[in-house]
Structure 1
Amino acid sequence: MSINGIFGISGRYLAGAALLAACAAAPAWAQDAPAPAPAAGVDQVTVTAQRRAERQEEVPISITVQTGEQLATAGVDNLRDLEQVTPGLTFQAQGNFVQPALRGITTLVTGPGSDNPIALYIDGVYEGTQAGASIDLPDIERIEVSKGPQGTLFGRNATGGAIQIITRSPSFETTGSVSASAGFYGGAGASRSSYDLGIKGFVSGPLVADKVAASFSFAYRNVDGYSRNIVPGMVPAAAGNYPSDRMDWLRSYTLRGKLLITPSDRVTILATAYYMQRATDHGSVGLPVDGLTAASLYPDAVYGTAPWQYAYDAPDPLTRLRNYGGSLKIDIDTGVGNFTSTSAYTLSRYLERVDVDAAYSPQCLAAAPSTFACLAFKDQQPNDNFFQDFLFTSEQLGRLTFLVGGNIFISNGKIPAWINDFTDGALPGAPQVVYPPLLTATTKVKTKAYGIFAQADYEIVDRLTLTAGVRYSYEKKTGFVTFFGAPYFEFADPDWDSVTPRVGLRYEIDDRTNIYATFSKGFKSGILPILTVGPAVDPEKVTAYEIGFKTAQANFTFNAAGFYYDYKNLQIQSFTGTAIIPTNAASARIYGLEFDGTAQVTDGLSLRLGATWMPKADFTDFPNAAGFGPPITAGGLGAIVGDVSGDRLMRAPKLSAVFSLTYETRAGDGDLSVSPSLHYTSKYLPYDPFGVLVQKGYARFGTEISYRPDGSNWRFSLWGRNLTNTKSYNSTTISAGAARVSYDEPREIGVTIDYDF
């Protein structure tokens, strides 16, 4: 479709919405009331969803914003936990590859060059790998989740939205904080008791008065292991081969340093360096749902039958991730606007060992050379990224503001993989199983992506603003592969380009209330098959329409939106156990309603409630969907091919909701705060369209009780997480080997001590 056609369609939608806005708010056209005093009960929220600082209610985008303090109170200390406070957001993983879904838009594809459709930015730097998205949150100023395609301003892989993580910056006043926590998993259900210890801190101050400041943050977490390896108890002869019967352990730490230089009133330079390391077996272990594992055909098979019970026979499951890098941001005030250059180089190093069949069965493992059923998958995924972004944001020029920019993203990723490399024995569970690797292969993917963009806001008449923007994106990916150490050969060299416009109208009913209507498009890059040879998969594209209402009054805020998505060329993955084979589903349609609001009921009582309802999130045309499922044969789960047109998309619950309450009162010589919170999601399909795995609806309830003595820098908290002991999936995968899942953390109770200075 031509650009004129695109804007013609959007114009009809937006004209109707603008007419409705004008009729609904006619009295406001004739007056220009003075700005009200700042809200007494509800804090004003400033966001950068349009790459400039604006009040949240003025931005014609659905946005969920959480401060670092709000995230800590809700128990959110990792990006995956963000769904607990964000309606419409669902986090799933494959192993430890983090794959968010926002309003039904997600990805099932892993491997180099296979990025999330929810673009992730950390301090303005694009994080282009799924492994790199598995991050802890020790020093957060705020997180913004922008919903709907953000293809104009954020570009590639923002078909579903964008998540911006803004960390704390250096200050010219000495400040800091330290927080230590101790949690205890009590062993509810089939889980086992375990400790959870953590400490994090932030310190900042001047190095040269008014010219140079620095900050440093750190975080460390140690989880002993709240799940159980059931093999030592059920197979005593094998017990000595396992290092422990504890599973779902975690060791992680994060370091970040920043240097702020202000050589003049008009120039600011911010240099950042960081290092993060995580080691865990979480996501690399699994339970075969309903016994769906190739090992079940063998009499010596042992596998979990309840959440937090696991079994394996291949080398110890492990995921080890290291992320590190640096960035340089330069801001120059030109007098007519602000010019910003952001340069970054980031690296991630990922290693995983997975027992694909999620079971203990030396007999099945020994038969693998003839059946290719019980497999152990080991891979490494090094990835190096370079990112350069230029942005100019104008000052207010009469009725006009605008921004223009461009960026470059270059990525070199690869995945060396080994399947059943048991030359020295399949320790620890089956040391007697010895044979050379069934497959060794390496895929390299080189990505080059370029984009230029512009967006302008023009106040047509008082209180009525037109937003118009467009981006041009060009991408090229080159794939190389080798098998069993042979020379690399190039198997794919595709390129794609895309134009992603955005048009919107916003009407200001009063200085704190707006209604808006938008039309936008998003583009997710094409991808290549991994550890095999095949054709490239076309890019995904989304066309979105949204109408919304926003208000921020003295004692309450309320945001509501209705959205409609036309979603084409969905990228779907089939994992055979040895290769990742992506394909395009034809199309899908999504629509729904969403709201999010806060209220200061009394001086001491505040509430927050948000929900996303998606009655429609279905494939409109997908006649040749492929997957795995019963019955089980010697080769494992059987291949399924079927027509799922009209069926529900994966990771698209009809209803998700968040609720929190904060009650503050005086208690003795200090302030007492009680903050319960609830996250609910209805059932959804976490991985495949055939319903082999189904995540039932669930609610997770948590609370925090804190006390701060008068005149003290100390704060003491008692908290509980997942107090309902909900058994929800965290990681899911279906292959010929098994339909395997791992679970979110069980019930945990703990204490935290904070000290601020």
Structure 2
Amino acid sequence: MKIMAFAGGMRPASVKLSLLGAVVIGAGLSSPVMAQTAAKPAAAPTPEPGEIIVTAQRRAEKLENVPMAISVVQGDALAKAGVTSFQDLGAVVAGAQVNFAGAFTQPTVRGVTTLTNGNNIENNVAVYVDGFYEPSPLVINADLPNLSSIEVLKGPQGTLYGRNATGGAILMNTLAPASTWTGRSEITYARFQDKRASAYVSGPLSDNIRIGVAGYYRHTESYIRLASATQIGESTGGATPIRQAAVRVKLEADLSADIKATVGYNYVHVDDPRSNIFTPRAHIASTVAPPPLRAIDERAASFNGDTYAKASNDQGTLKLEWNVGIGKLTTYTGYSESRQRLRFDNDGTFRDLSATAIRFRQKTFQHAADFTIDAIDNLDLIVGGLYYHDKITDDPFTQSLGINGTVNFNIKGHQTTRAWAVYADATYHLGDSISINVGGRYSDDRKDVDSLTATPAGVAVVGPLSRGDGWSKFTPRATVRYEFAPRTNVYASWSRGFRSGAFNFTPPAVASAWAAVRPETIEAYELGLKTAGRGFRFDVAGFVYNYKDLHVNVASRNAACGPVPAPPAVDTCQSFFSQFQNAPKAEIYGMDTQITVTPVANLNLRAGGAYLHARYKNFINAIGTGLNPVTDTNVINQPQNWSGQQMARAPRFAGNAGFDYNIPMGDGGVMFTGNVNYTDSYVVNNASLFGPLAGALANQQRYRQKHYALVNGTITWTDPTGTYHIGIFGRNLTNRRYRITSTGNSNGDYGSLAEPITYGVRAGFNF
């Protein structure tokens, strides 16, 4: 029996009309017992040539039918654009970046990013791999050897992917095991002795069981050189070599005609210390060592001892899909253990003054269930829930290392996160043209932390201390979509997002101030147009965000250093820890667009662009790193007014354009590809001003990257049987210099440059 139902919609508020007008017009619901004659749920749409299927609403749908801004990049398109890692995503997705803060990878979507970092901090752009939430900002700094596609969901995902997703969500999908044996492998060699190897094989073990195994390895000598400690301008080798390894195994089994299970094991190892370089470059304090004890070349570094940012992660997953009479029940169960080790030289010179060593473990359990119901006339309904438990433990401690590696003090601590959520989302189709959607999610988070700072002899300096706090939030959404022509839709949406509060993993300088920052909230309005046809696809969206209680990060002097000496004595403390605070408000609005066209056979053109206005509002009590022009040195922990200033990682304009052209030869041919992406001037990761002592420069932001454009290209020959291929490639072909980090401390300004011009060859085969 069919059931008739109706769900009303919510009308988005009318805001920023001048901008938006620029856009062209619980499983308990099912019986635990299945009847053998139960009706099968509606099959997922079968893509026609040029169509793209996405899972942004936790069900398979055509891209143009989903009422939100989504950028989808297929696995082969990443290679064609010269994208070789997760960090390169901004080259093909307008309005997105992947950035660093220290060793931690931090995605940005439409100017929403996090300026807090640490072992215990989850990003506010959520990352999912095959439907499983990935909390670690270290582990996501890795390539996936069997990537099928990436979906970038722009805007707050408060309902369906709502855990810490105020900026959006990135869904990374790997290849499903194949029903016939298939495989591929590739080796790559590039400048800076960048050696990579990947392989993937998949096929049936029996009529009902399929397997897929992927492996990846990378090792490269660093483009950042280790300066000579005796000869100015000379170097002695690579300073920050990158090592990566990954193994991903999927075993898929048809347990019955209606139940499918996918068991996965994933191992990832990453060591990428490029952003852990603290060598002062400008406004250098008089206490800092002169050359050659300090590197002067911007692509060189100086430090004592090892510098590394290592993360290893073992994860086991189980996905169950159960077709019942009125829909499909899907469960996701995952457990992972991460071991993460960081070490860096705080003063960034060859003087053995100060370093920090961090070792910790992270154990994460997650279980989620989605029940999609499609047996109700004209209604797509999904209900679900999530349980999440995460524990981080210093393993065994964080150390502050003084002269000659002497341990100044140890910090031991734990953080436990317990969270759960329930959600429901319904889309009602009014005839063939109009769809109305309403949904909501209730989230509850609890965090408990403890910490002890002690001398090597075990004498407590700060603590033992413990804190705890919890937060809950309801985040709804509502959309309306109108299809006024085949595969052509306009939509309007309203949604809210939520990021839970957070603690510093270690107490600030004043232990009594150890408290969690308030949760972030965001309210978003969006209007968009999507259209697609044979040989083309186009979409455009305008959006307005009201953003509150942003999490920002400031440097705090460690209390273990003792009291600050009175002038004119010099403060020799080299130990600073992150201290979090809330920025009261921010205003974000803008527009992004993308287009792909196939004007003639074998030629594909693509382009995208994003305009963005992102400014802090009423942020009069910001803490920044200012400049004293009299001494030409930095002033840390300086009160500043950031009201009206550009938010970090939010360029006013960014865009990309690319092509691929194939000259066919049987099943192979010669493929030419090219891609260029442009980024306007922006704040890299520290929005500090020159400050009130700097005169005419007082209200200018210090750590800005000038505009730049990157050009990538490839030429690949594939033999006429389609089995073998060999090619050449180049990245950053115009050799533009730009920074992946830029900030400062009491020693001076420091940061790391991105990779210069790089070129290489690759070869592989398929079967």
- The two structures have a TM-score, normalised by structure 2, of 0.86
- Among 301, 306, 314, the residue aligned to 1:316: 306
Name which of structure 1's ranges 506-515 and 638-647 shifts more when overlaid on structure 2. 638-647
Shift in alpha-carbon separation, 1:502–1:9, aligned structure 2, 3 A: closer
In the TM superposition, residue 407 of structure 1 has moved relative to its aligned partner by 0.2
Selected match of 2:389 from 404, 410, 424: 410
Q: Hey, what's the Cα distance between the residues in 1 that align with 2:359 and 2:519?
A: 26
CA contact (8 A) 1:293 1:637 kept: no
> 1:285 maps to what in 2?
277
Where does residue 327 of structure 1 map in the other structure?
317
Q: 8 Å contact 1:381–1:414 — kept in the other structure?
A: yes
Q: In structure 1, what is the equivalent of residue 555 of structure 2?
A: 575
Q: Choose which of 194, 197, 214 in structure 2 pairs with 1:199.
A: 197
Kept in 2, the 8 Å contact 1:528–1:537? The answer is: yes
Partner of 1:553: 533
Is contact 1:733-1:741 (8 Å) kept? Answer: yes
Displacement of 1:717: 1.4
2:694 counterpart residue number? none
Q: Which amino acid aligns with 1:699?
A: A
Q: Which structure 2 residues correspond to residues 377-396 of structure 1 after superposition, within 5 A? A: 377-396=356-375
For residue 738 of structure 2, the aligned residue among 712, 728, 753 is 728
Residue 400 of structure 1 deviates from its aligned partner by 0.8
From 755, 763, 767, the counterpart of 1:745: 755
Alpha-carbon separation, structure 2, partners of 1:743 and 1:280: 14
Structure 2 letter corresponding to 1:74: A
Cα distance change on mapping 1:466 and 1:421 into 2, 3 Å: same
Identity of aligned residues (%): 30
Letter in 2 for 1:65: V
Alpha-carbon distance between aligned partners in 1 of 2:667 and 2:90, rounded to the nearest angstrom: 36
Aligned equivalents of 1:92 and 1:230: distance in 2?
25
8 Å Cα contact 1:670/1:710 also seen in 2: yes
**In the TM superposition, what whole-angstrom CA distance separates every residue of 1:710-752 from its partner, at most 9, and x where no partner exists?**
1240122111011111212223443334432112111111111
Corresponding residue SS for 2:179: coil
Which amino acid counterpart does residue 385 of structure 1 have in structure 2?
A: T
Alpha-carbon offset, residue 631 of structure 1: 3.3
What is residue 431 of structure 1 aligned with on the other side?
none
> How far, CA to CA, are the matches of 2:91 and 2:425 in structure 1?
33
Give the conservation status (yes or no) of the 8 Å contact 1:254–1:275.
yes
Alpha-carbon distance between aligned partners in 1 of 2:524 and 2:617, rounded to the nearest angstrom? 16
Match of 1:455 in 2: 425
Residue 249 of structure 1 pairs with residue 233 of structure 2: no
In the alignment, the residues of structure 2 paired with residue 348 and residue 327 of structure 1 have an alpha-carbon distance, to the nearest angstrom, of 15
Q: How many residues align?
A: 697
Q: Please, which of 164, 170, 173 is the counterpart of residue 166 of structure 1?
A: 173
Q: Which residue does 2:221 correspond to in 1?
A: 224
Number of the residue aligned with 2:544: 564
CA contact (8 A) 2:205 2:211 kept: yes
Report the counterpart of residue 303 of structure 1 in structure 2.
294
Q: Is 1:231–1:360's contact at 8 Å kept on the other side of the alignment?
A: no
Q: 1:68 deviation in Å?
A: 1.1
- How big is the shift at 1:636? 6.6
Give the Å deviation of 1:306. 3.8
Shift of 1:635: 10
Map of 2:588 onto structure 1: 590
Find the counterpart in structure 2 of residue 47 from structure 1.
Answer: 54
- CA distance in structure 2 between the aligned counterparts of 1:107 and 1:328, rounded to whole angstroms: 30
Partner residue in 1 for 2:39: none
Point out the more displaced range, 470-479 or 524-533.
524-533
Distance 1:167 1:613 in 2: 31
Q: Answer yes or no: is the 8 Å Cα contact 1:596–1:609 preserved in 2.
A: yes
Could you give the per-residue CA deviations for residues 126-172 of structure 1, whole angstroms, max 9, x where no partner exists? 01121122121211011100000001001121000000111112122
Partner deviation per Cα, 1:407-428 (whole Å, 9 max, x = no partner): 01111013465454247x24xx
Pick one of 234, 240, 246 that aligns with 2:231: 234
User: 1 CA distance for matches of 2:388 and 2:503?
Assistant: 18
* Distance of 1:670 and 1:476 partners within structure 2: 55
1:527 aligns with 2:502: yes
Q: Indicate the residue corresponding to 1:659 in structure 2.
A: 657
Matching residue of 2:67: 60
- The structure-2 alpha-carbon separation of the partners of 1:298 and 1:277, relative to structure 1 and needing over 3 Å to count, comes to closer
1:494 corresponds to which of 459, 464, 469: 469
Amino acid at match of 1:377: T
1:360 aligns with 2:350: yes
- What is the distance in 1 between the residues matched to 2:642 and 2:451? 32
CA contact (8 A) 1:574 1:581 kept: yes
Alignment match, 1:371: none
Instruction: Name the residue aligned to 1:179.
Output: 186
**Alpha-carbon spacing, 1:183–1:349, altered in 2? closer, same or farther (3 Å):** same
Change (3 A) 1:567 1:486: farther
Map 1:418-457 → 2, pairs under 5 A: 418-422=398-402, 425-426=404-405, 436-457=406-427
List aligned pairs for 1:62-141, cutoff 5 A: 62-141=69-148
Q: Which amino acid aligns with 1:445?
A: Q
Cα offset for 1:283? 1.9
Give the deviation of 1:491 after TM superposition: 2.8
SS at match of 2:205: strand
Instruction: Select 1:474's aligned residue among 425, 444, 448.
Output: 444
Residues 415, 505 of structure 2: 8 Å contact kept: no
Do residues 347 (structure 1) and 322 (structure 2) align? no
1:377/1:578 contact within 8 Å kept = no
Q: Call closer, same or farther: CA 1:61–1:11 in 2, change over 3 Å.
A: closer
Q: Which residue of 1 aligns with 2:518?
A: 538
Question: Which one has the bigger helix percentage?
Answer: 1
The offset of 1:284, in angstroms, is 2.1
Whether 1:258 aligns to 2:255 is no
Contact 1:225 1:246 in 2 (8 A): yes
Query: What is the rounded CA distance, in whole Å, between the counterparts of 1:52 and 1:543 in structure 2?
Result: 24
Map 1:6-45 → 2, pairs under 5 A: 10-13=11-14, 43-45=50-52
Q: Secondary structure at the match of 2:407?
A: coil
Moved more, 79-88 or 519-528: 79-88
Q: CA deviation at 1:670?
A: 4.9
Aligned mates of 2:667, 2:417 — CA distance in 1: 60
Residue identity opposite 2:619 in structure 1: F
Q: 1:92 to 1:467 in 2, by over 3 A?
A: same
| Cα drift, residue 578 of structure 1 | 2.6
Comparing 71-80 and 54-63, the one that deviates more: 71-80
Separation in structure 2 between the aligned mates of residue 360 and residue 332 of structure 1, nearest angstrom = 61
Shift of the alpha carbon at 1:667? Answer: 6.4
Structure 2 Cα separation of the partners of residues 337 and 360 of structure 1: 64
The alpha carbon displacement at 1:298 in A equals: 4.4
Name the stretch that deviates more: 160-169 or 741-750.
741-750
State the secondary structure of the residue aligned to 2:139.
helix
Contact 1:254 1:276 in 2 (8 A): yes
Once the two structures are overlaid, the 10-residue window that deviates more, 730-739 or 691-700, is 730-739
Structure 1 residue 569: Cα displacement = 0.1
In structure 2, the residue matched to 1:619 is: 616
In structure 2, the partner of 1:432 is none
The match for 2:600 among 599, 602, 605 is 602
> Is the CA contact (8 Å cut-off) linking 2:240 and 2:308 kept in structure 1?
no
Shift of 1:490: 4.3
Alignment-derived partner of residue 684 in structure 1: 682
Distance in 2, Cα, partners of 1:630 & 1:326: 49
Match of 1:133, SS state, is coil
Amino acid at match of 1:715: H
